[in-house]
Amino acid sequence: MSTYADRLTALREQLRSERLDGFVVPLTDEHMSEYVGDYAQRLAWLTGFQGSAGAAVILPAEAAMFVDGRYTLQVREQVDADHYQYVKVPDTSMSDWLGEHAPEGGRIGYDPWLHTRAWVAEASKALAERGAELVPVAANPVDAIWSDRPAPSPATLSAQSDAAAGKTSAEKRAVIAEWLETRRADAVVLSALDSIAWTFNIRGEDVIHTPVALSYALVHSDGTAELFVAPEKVNDAVRQHLGNAVRVQPRDAFAPALKALSGKRVAADPERAVAAIFDLLDAGGAHVLPVRDPAVLAKALKNPAEVSGHRAAQARDAVAMVRFLRWIEEEAPKGSVTEMSAVRKLLEFRQALGVLKDTSFDTISGYGRHGAIPHYRVTEESSLLLEPGSLYLVDSGGQYEDGTTDITRVMPVGEPTAEMKDRFTRVLKGMIALTHAVFPDGTAGSQIDAFARQFLWQAGLDYPHGTGHGVGAYLSVHEGPQRIAAPNYPGGGPSEPLRAGMICSNEPGYYKAGEYGIRIENLVLIVEQEIAGAEQTMLGFETLTFVPIERTLIDPALLTPHEREWLDGYHAKVLEIVGPQVDGEDKAWLEAKCAPIV
State mean pLDDT over 494-504: 91
Fold of 4-145: Creatine Amidinohydrolase; Chain A, domain 1 (3.40.350)
Angle at 99 between CA 93 and CA 103, to 5 degrees: 135
Backbone phi, psi, residue 367, to 5°: -100, 140
Residues of the chain with CATH 3.90.230.10: 301-586
Rounded CA-CA distance 506/566 in Å is: 15
Q: What is the pLDDT of residue 51?
A: 84
CA distance 16 to 11: 9
Q: Above 90 in pLDDT, residue 71?
A: no
Q: Which residues contact 180 (CB under 8 A, 6 or more apart)?
A: 186, 187, 188, 219, 220, 221, 267, 294
- Would you say residue 1 has pLDDT above 70? no
In tens, the pLDDT along 579-598 reads 999 999 999 999 999 999 98
Give start-end residues of each CATH 3.40.350.10 domain in the chain: 4-145, 158-295
- Max CA distance (Å), the chain: 72
Give percent of the chain above pLDDT 90: 92
Look at residue 491 and tell me whether its pLDDT is greater than 80.
no
pLDDT(26) > 70 = yes
pTM for the full predicted model: 0.94
Structurally, at CATH architecture level, domain 301-586 sits in: Alpha-Beta Complex (3.90)
d(CA 188, CA 180) in angstroms, rounded, equals 7
pLDDT (0 to 100) of residue 488: 79
Torsion-angle region of 461 (φ positive above 0: left; ψ -120 to 50: alpha; else: beta): beta
SS3 assignment for 246-308:
EEEECHHHHHHHHHCCCCCEEEECCCCCCHHHHHHHHHHCCEEEECCCCHHHHHHCCCHHHHH
User: Does the pLDDT of residue 47 top 90, yes or no?
Assistant: yes
Q: What is the pLDDT of residues 381-405, one digit of tens each?
A: 899 999 999 999 999 999 999 999 9
pLDDT (tens digit per residue) in 182-228: 999 999 999 999 999 999 999 999 998 999 999 999 999 999 999 99
Burial of 541 (0-12, 13-18, 19+ CB in 10 A): buried
pLDDT tens for 419-454 read: 999 999 999 999 999 999 999 999 999 999 999 999
What's the pLDDT at 52? 81
Give me the helix-helix angle, 418-435 and 449-457, nearest 10°: 150
- Counting Cβ atoms within 10 Å, is residue 165 exposed (0-12), middle (13-18) or buried (19+)? buried
Asked if 484 and 447 count as a contact pair (C-beta separation under 8 A), the reply is: no
Whole-Å CA distances, 217 to 113, 122, 292, 480, 567: 16, 28, 15, 19, 46
CATH number for 158-295 (one of 3.40.228.10, 3.40.350.10, 3.30.360.10, 3.40.50.300): it is 3.40.350.10
DSSP state of 521: B
Query: Residue 140 pLDDT more than 80?
Result: yes
Mean pLDDT of all residues belonging to the chain? 96
CA angle 462, 465, 471 (to 5 degrees): 135
- Looking at residue 96, its pLDDT comes to 93
